[in-house]
């Protein structure tokens, strides 16, 4: 399939969409949103593989953390481009910690800002993002039109999703992150890596997270991973038909 616009619309039957998760459990939760249940395993260069659904969605469990997420996503994007069938959209998806009370356990968050929260340097005066050191970027902003489509279709709340290399486990670190990023709704470990790969290939990117636990003191007994995975399945069940009305040329 290749990207085709019909009356200014992108149809899922014409466009290929890559969904990158961290682990197979998240990938499989997305796969359950497709009612026919059919998926073909497609090998990528190296040891990676993705699941190709009949609806034009390729599902990739890229690994945990921003480095593996970037590498796996870039591999899939490059393979698609070399095959002459590039992706029209990349979605980083999975479970996440939610900042309370704005993102309660079981809720959905769509990133209007994908930010690397701990990419930088600690100084005597506090944390400096890598941009203030004169290097790179720490944030990507998905297209407003895409964020609106996802929010309206799934009920996800728009806000910043932080990418961290170390999961927050104390109230002090949660407070520090909120001070630096007052618009943050959730933290996860892959979104920025996925976004870096997508942007490098000129492909739009989204991040959708289902909240499995509060950000703060680590309490595994309070985590609701099963509920979050179920919410992820339900969200993609609503998102897939909604994306049929998304105009890929609308960059607002």
Taking the alpha carbons of 46, 48, 49, 50 in that order, is the dihedral positive or negative?
Answer: negative
Task: Examine the pLDDT at 12 and tell me if it is beyond 50.
Answer: no
pTM score: 0.90
Convert the pLDDT of each residue in 41-65 to its tens digit: 999 988 889 999 977 899 999 999 9
Convert the pLDDT of each residue in 185-228 to its tens digit: 999 999 999 999 999 999 999 999 999 999 999 888 889 999 99
Residue 48: predicted pLDDT: 86
Weakest mean pLDDT among 15-29, 72-86, 232-246: 232-246
Average pLDDT for the chain: 89
Let me know: does 243 contact 149? Beta carbons within 8 Å: yes
pLDDT band at 7 (very low <50, low <70, confident <90, very high): very low
Residue 198: predicted pLDDT: 98
- In the 3-class helix/strand/coil scheme, how is the chain assigned residue by residue? CCCCEECCEECCCCCCEEEEECCHHHHHHHHCCCCCCCEEEEECCCCCEEEEECCCEEEEECCCCHHHHHHHHHHHHHHHHHCCCCCCEEEEEEEEEECCCCCCCCCEEEEEEEEECCCEEEECCEEEEHHHHCCCCCEECCCHHHHHHHHHHHCCEEEEEEECCCCCCCHHHHHHHHHHCCCEEEEECCHHHHHHHHHHCCCCEEEEEEEEEECCCCCHHHCCHHHHHHHHHHHHHHHHHHHHHCCCCCCC
Average pLDDT over residues 98-127: 93
Task: Give the integer Cα–Cα distance in Å for 25 and 18.
Answer: 17
Residue 249: predicted pLDDT: 60
Residue 72: predicted pLDDT: 96
Residue 124 CB contacts under 8 Å (≥ 6 apart), including other chains: none
Average pLDDT over residues 89-116: 97
Q: What are 9's strand-pairing partners?
A: 6
Task: Give the integer Cα–Cα distance in Å for 218 and 172.
Answer: 12
Residue 4: predicted pLDDT: 34
Convert the pLDDT of each residue in 140-161 to its tens digit: 999 999 999 999 999 999 999 9
Residue 1: predicted pLDDT: 29
Residue 14: predicted pLDDT: 53
């Amino acid at each position: 399939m290749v990207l085709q616009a019909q009356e200014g619309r992108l149809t899922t039957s014409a466009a290929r969409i890559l969904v990158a998760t961290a682990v197979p459990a998240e990938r499989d939760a997305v796969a359950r949103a497709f009612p026919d249940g059919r998926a073909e395993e497609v090998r990528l260069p190296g040891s990676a593989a993705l699941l190709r659904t009949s609806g034009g969605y390729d599902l990739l469990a890229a690994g945990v953390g921003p480095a593996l997420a970037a590498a796996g996503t870039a591999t899939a994007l490059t393979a698609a481009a070399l095959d002459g069938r590039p992706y029209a959209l990349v979605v980083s998806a999975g479970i996440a910690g939610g900042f309370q009370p704005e993102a309660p356990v079981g809720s959905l968050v769509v990133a209007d800002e994908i930010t690397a929260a701990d990419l930088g340097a600690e100084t005597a005066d506090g944390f400096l993002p890598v941009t203030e050191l004169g290097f790179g970027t720490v944030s990507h902003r998905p297209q407003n039109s895409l964020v609106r489509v996802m929010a309206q279709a799934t009920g996800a709340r728009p806000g910043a999703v932080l990418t961290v290399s170390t999961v927050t486990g104390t109230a002090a670190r949660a407070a520090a992150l909120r001070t630096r990023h007052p618009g943050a709704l959730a933290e996860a470990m892959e979104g920025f890596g996925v976004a870096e790969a997508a942007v490098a290939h000129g492909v739009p990117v989204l991040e959708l997270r289902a909240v499995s636990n509060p950000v703060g003191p680590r309490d595994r007994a309070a985590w609701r991973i099963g509920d979050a995975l179920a919410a992820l399945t339900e969200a993609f069940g609503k998102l897939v038909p909604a994306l049929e009305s998304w105009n890929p040329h609308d960059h607002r």
